[in-house]
Amino acid sequence: MLKSYSDLRVWQESYGLSLDVYRHTRVLPADEKCGLTSQLRRAAVSIPSNIAEGYGRRTSGEYLQFLHVAYGSVCELQTQLRLAADLGYLTPDNSNVLLSKTGSVERMLKALIRALDSRRASSRRSGPSPEPQNPRPPEPLRKRGT
């Protein structure tokens, strides 16, 4: 059972990808520090950050919203990695490794989104949950005198 967002494999993989992006972007030209380097790093960090933030939200709808933002960041990162490779800032080997890891994270995110969408759809089809037998909270949770 999951105890934290950090137990999610997709979070672990995307966190590792973020570290790799930081390591590989150290070699980009200094004049790209506020440009492509910053964009690559922001997109990479956005992926595990949005997975974590969504995990901490109250509803599966909110969670899905953050997972979709993370998915958008994956697509953004893939585009920027291709651009960095085509500009000659990343070696073909480094670019291929990062794109492969990004593709893996993309597939895991798609699977998680599909699973949560499916679960939400099936819970909506089953209708509202029945009223509890005793709507009052147990004694220790009620205020005194009520």
User: Helix, strand, or coil here: 138?
Assistant: coil
- Tell me how far CA of residue 4 lies from CA of 52, 95, 122, 145, in angstroms: 9, 31, 25, 38
Which range of residues forms the domain containing residue 109?
Answer: 14-125
74: CATH: 1.20.1440.60
Each residue of 34-71: pLDDT tens digit?
Answer: 999 999 999 999 999 999 999 999 899 999 999 999 99
List the one residue out of 39, 46, 38 whose CA is nearest residue 18: 46
In the chain, what is the straight-line distance between the N-terminal and C-terminal CA atoms, in Å?
37
In a domain, 55, yes or no: yes
Quote the tokens at residue 41: 């790093």
CA 19, 21, 26, 31 torsion: positive or negative?
A: negative
- Model pLDDT, residue 78: 98
- Tell me how far CA of residue 139 lies from CA of 31, 135, 146, in angstroms: 65, 12, 10
Domain total of the chain: 1
Among the ranges given (5-19, 49-63, 84-98, 118-132), the one the predictor scored with the smallest mean pLDDT: 118-132
Nearest-angstrom CA–CA distance, 92 and 70: 25
In a domain, 141, yes or no: no
Evaluate whether 53 touches 66 at the Cβ level (below 8 Å). Answer: yes
The percent of residues in the chain predicted with pLDDT above 90, rounded, is 76
In a domain, 142, yes or no: no
- Model pLDDT, residue 132: 42
- Model pLDDT, residue 138: 39
Each residue of 99-146: pLDDT tens digit?
Answer: 999 999 999 999 999 999 998 888 777 655 544 443 333 343 444 454
In a domain, 87, yes or no: yes
- Tell me how far CA of residue 146 lies from CA of 52, 62, 131, 139, 141, in angstroms: 39, 35, 21, 10, 11
